[in-house]
Chain A
Amino acid sequence: MTAAQRINIGLSKVPAWPLYILGLIPPAWFLYQGLTGGLGAEPIKALEHKLGEFALQVLIVVLAVTPLRTWTGINLTKFRRALGLLTFFYVFLHLLVWLVLDVQILSQIWADIVKRPYITIGMVGFVLMIPLAVTSNNLSIRKLGPKTWRRLHQLTYVTAVLGAVHFVMVAKGFQFEPLIYLGIVLALVATRLKFPAKRAVA
């Protein structure tokens, strides 16, 4: 038995549902830190950035599930729905902090979404996640049919790229960190590209 098979057998005993509860801990911890001084003198931006970055990190894990299975045989597919929904939840919280704690002013929120490209891109990324979150259940897979459902969920790639580009555009000066995120996301999306077969057979 290969190592991957042993890992998969071990994982088969681990349920996915606790992720929904465990996933609440990081944002709760960030909020607690923000309320008690752990996020520094200006906790609003810090909380906003932590949530956004964490969402991107979890989204990268989501995107890594398929290549990991292809290349190593380790199968994390059953955890992917929970991680995807958590990503949506974190992005939603990130947006909420921006709306309620950061910008605060309703007229300015709309102006920002329309006028500021990095915010427009972030908003598009979030909006594209809504149908994915809504259809992240077995009933939707049955109703849409697996083929349509899979096509719809390929929007994840678009969302991930938009999220990473949004991060790059927020940075001041030349900074490596957001570019590293973008590089990882692009590499993971690239693993999905289907290259034409070596030779076209007539």
Chain B
Amino acid sequence: MAGRYKSDLKWSDVTPKRDYMNRRQLMAGAGALALGSIAGPAMASLGARKSNYGRGLELNTYEDITSYNNFYEFGTGKDDAKNNAGRLTTDPWSITVDGMVDKPGKYDLDDLTSGISLEERIYRFRCVEAWSMVVPWVGFELSDLLARVGVQSSAKYVAFETLVRPDEMIGQRRPVLDWPYREGLTLNEAMHPLTIMATGLYDEPIPNQNGAPIRLVVPWKYGFKSIKSIVRITLTDTRPPISWEMANPREYGFFSNVNPNVDHPRWSQATERKIGGGLFSKRVPTLMFNGYESEVAGLYAGMDLTKNF
């Protein structure tokens, strides 16, 4: 159900996208600035309900959010996703829902989400690589979708899979990871009101490089948990394998909660760099559970987060 989070801040209090016009374009001169405005996607507004979760956070520009992406299905470079994702066909799109659900099946995306109202959620986004953004997602709570398909009481986990289509997702022609990209959550994590399925950002349909047409967003976990371009959702009673843990279990764990006290073996997670600050941007401290500690710490009560990283 949309709108469970309420505050007194209105969407009109958020600085509009155009005012956040990328400073790099400003530096490149007025010509580039004009071009940037014209070249911006002329998408229809999704008309998402303007909830105000994330008040006080400074949004990243549309340009930053849509040009700096890890989406290895399109290549390992940060700009590969933007450069290569254009060829992905996202309509028609169907999602297979199976496992421990009352109504399994292959659903057309529109059918699966019809009648679910969209809501804006401004979330921090913290990559495991120690950079971060603030993104105004548009989506709905995953629990709404799960309620629709009927989760059976035996289910303990939710597993997700990304599309495999190497002729369009050219990064899948290389064995960077064991495709399809796989992710998973405990059922409690999946049912948490902060966990959303996003279909848009900046009140526009989500661009391909950000995981069109539908992706998961779990704001208290490292970004790779927020799987993109989902085609399969499976309810299960066993912990599903997840791609990065399969690739390197020493470095990536099933939970992957943002935690400044547990380092990645190759770098510290104590600090992060906010994208958009340019060449001299300062690191800032990383927050426990990415700043969502009061909402989600209860999910992990009594758990050793150093072992269950």
Seen from chain A, the residues whose Cβ lies within 8 Å of a Cβ on chain B are: 34-37, 40-47, 101, 103-105, 108, 111-112, 115-116, 118, 169-176
Q: How far is the CB of A71 from chain B (nearest CB, A)?
A: 32
Residues of B within 8 A of A35 (CB): 27, 278-279
Q: How far is the CB of A110 from chain B (nearest CB, A)?
A: 12
Q: How far is the CB of A100 from chain B (nearest CB, A)?
A: 9
Which residue from B68, B247, B282, B283 sits with its C-beta under 8 Å from A173?
B247
Known interface pairs A36-B24, A36-B27, A41-B275; A173-B78 also in contact (CB < 8 Å): no
B residues 105-160 near A (Cβ < 8 Å) are 131
Contact of A42 with B273 in the complex, beta carbons under 8 Å: yes
Q: How far is the CB of B67 from chain A (nearest CB, A)?
A: 6
Contact of B64 with A112 in the complex, beta carbons under 8 Å: no
Residues of A within 8 A of B283 (CB): 103-105
B298 contacts the other chain (CB 8 A): no
Which residue from B28, B67, B174 sits with its C-beta under 8 Å from A41?
B67
Contact of A40 with B176 in the complex, beta carbons under 8 Å: no
A-B Cβ contacts below 8 A, count: 74
Most buried by B among A37, A41, A45, A170: A41
Excluding A37-B27, A41-B67, A104-B282, 11 further A-B contacts by CB distance (< 8 Å) are A36-B27, A41-B78, A41-B275, A43-B279, A105-B283, A108-B271, A111-B268, A173-B72, A173-B177, A174-B177, A174-B247
Which residue from A41, A104, A112, A172 sits with its C-beta under 8 Å from B276?
A41
Known interface pairs A173-B176, A174-B177; A40-B67 also in contact (CB < 8 Å): yes
B281 contacts the other chain (CB 8 A): yes
Contact of A47 with B279 in the complex, beta carbons under 8 Å: yes
A and B contact pairs by CB, cutoff 8 A, 28 listed = A37-B24, A37-B27, A37-B28, A40-B67, A40-B68, A40-B78, A41-B67, A41-B68, A41-B78, A41-B275, A41-B276, A42-B68, A43-B279, A45-B131, A46-B78, A47-B279, A104-B283, A105-B271, A108-B268, A108-B270, A115-B263, A170-B266, A172-B76, A173-B72, A174-B176, A174-B177, A175-B76, A175-B174
Which residue from A34, A105, A169, A175 sits with its C-beta under 8 Å from B176?
A175
B residues 7-46 near A (Cβ < 8 Å) are 22-25, 27-28
B175 contacts the other chain (CB 8 A): yes
Residues of B within 8 A of A172 (CB): 76
Across the two chains, which residue of chain A brings its CB closest to B22? A37
Contact of A116 with B266 in the complex, beta carbons under 8 Å: yes
Q: How far is the CB of B282 from chain A (nearest CB, A)?
A: 7
Residues of A within 8 A of B23 (CB): 37
B63 contacts the other chain (CB 8 A): yes
Known interface pairs A40-B78, A174-B176; A112-B267 also in contact (CB < 8 Å): yes
Q: How far is the CB of A36 from chain B (nearest CB, A)?
A: 5
Residues of B within 8 A of A112 (CB): 267-268
Contact of A43 with B268 in the complex, beta carbons under 8 Å: no
Tell me, in angstroms, the Cα distance from A173 to B179 when the chains sit together. Answer: 12
Known interface pairs A104-B282, A173-B72, A176-B174; A37-B25 also in contact (CB < 8 Å): yes
Tell me, in angstroms, the Cα distance from A112 to B159 when the chains sit together. Answer: 35
Tell me, in angstroms, the Cα distance from A43 to B275 when the chains sit together. Answer: 9
Tell me, in angstroms, the Cα distance from A148 to B134 when the chains sit together. Answer: 58
Known interface pairs A37-B24, A116-B266, A173-B176; A44-B64 also in contact (CB < 8 Å): no
B residues 75-99 near A (Cβ < 8 Å) are 76, 78-79
Tell me, in angstroms, the Cα distance from A53 to B72 when the chains sit together. Answer: 20
Residues of A within 8 A of B273 (CB): 42, 44
Across the two chains, which residue of chain A brings its CB closest to B252? A172
Contact of B266 with A118 in the complex, beta carbons under 8 Å: yes
Tell me, in angstroms, the Cα distance from A34 to B24 when the chains sit together. Answer: 10
Tell me, in angstroms, the Cα distance from A111 to B67 when the chains sit together. Answer: 32
Q: How far is the CB of B72 from chain A (nearest CB, A)?
A: 6
Across the two chains, which residue of chain A brings its CB closest to B61? A41
Contact of A116 with B265 in the complex, beta carbons under 8 Å: yes
Q: How far is the CB of B177 from chain A (nearest CB, A)?
A: 5
Residues of A within 8 A of B282 (CB): 104
Contact of A116 with B76 in the complex, beta carbons under 8 Å: no
Tell me, in angstroms, the Cα distance from A5 to B24 when the chains sit together. Answer: 50
Across the two chains, which residue of chain A brings its CB closest to B79? A40
B residues 271-297 near A (Cβ < 8 Å) are 271, 273, 275-276, 278-283
Known interface pairs A173-B177, A176-B174; A44-B267 also in contact (CB < 8 Å): no
